[in-house]
């Protein structure tokens, strides 16, 4: 499994956004007073780790380019309908490209969350004919 770490100003506040507004699950979080401030959120079978934007992880000169050139791709299992996931993200105002069928055989939408781009997708059913 591949997991990504995203540098956030406050990983606990970011985890709250992911869980309360976007419907992700909180998988774990370290105590806020620990030396390793970290939260982990999940959607489908994907996990995203939210770390601190300390100088060692996100130098000051890079802060205005946070997430540049990277898109986190999450593929939902067919058993988890994508429509309600899209609706929660749209209601929170983070969707940047609407839910649509993509040429490569998936239904997907784009979102920007905490300065990072996400492509959230789901395979089209095998019986689907474009």
CATH number, domain with residue 84: 3.10.180.10
Does the residue 128 lie in any domain? no
The residue among 85, 69, 68, 70 whose CA lies nearest residue 121 is: 85
pTM of the model: 0.85
Determine the structural domain holding residue 113 and report its residue range.
4-55+70-123
**Residue 14 structure tokens:** 């970011």
Does the residue 65 lie in any domain? no
The residue among 11, 18, 9 whose CA lies nearest residue 118 is: 18
Does the residue 64 lie in any domain? no
Does the residue 61 lie in any domain? no
User: For the chain, what is the domain count?
Assistant: 1
Averaged pLDDT, groups of 10, the chain, 130 residues long: 85 96 97 91 93 81 79 91 97 97 93 94 75
Does the residue 102 lie in any domain? yes
Maximum CA pair distance of the chain?
53
Alpha helices, DSSP H, located in the chain: 11-16, 82-91
Neighbours of 20 (CB within 10 A): 11
């Amino acid at each position: 499994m591949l997991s990504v770490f995203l540098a956030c100003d406050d990983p606990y506040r970011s985890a709250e956004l992911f869980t309360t507004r976007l419907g992700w699950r909180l998988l774990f979080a370290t105590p806020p007073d620990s030396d390793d401030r970290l939260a982990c959120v999940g959607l489908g079978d994907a996990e995203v780790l939210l770390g601190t934007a300390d100088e060692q992880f996100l130098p000051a000169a890079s802060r205005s380019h946070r997430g540049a050139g990277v898109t986190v791709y999450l593929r939902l299992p067919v058993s988890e309908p994508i429509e309600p996931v899209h609706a929660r993200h749209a209601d929170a105002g983070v969707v940047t490209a609407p839910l649509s069928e993509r040429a490569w055989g998936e239904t997907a939408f784009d979102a920007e969350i905490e300065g990072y781009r996400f492509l959230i997708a789901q395979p089209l059913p095998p019986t689907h004919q474009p």
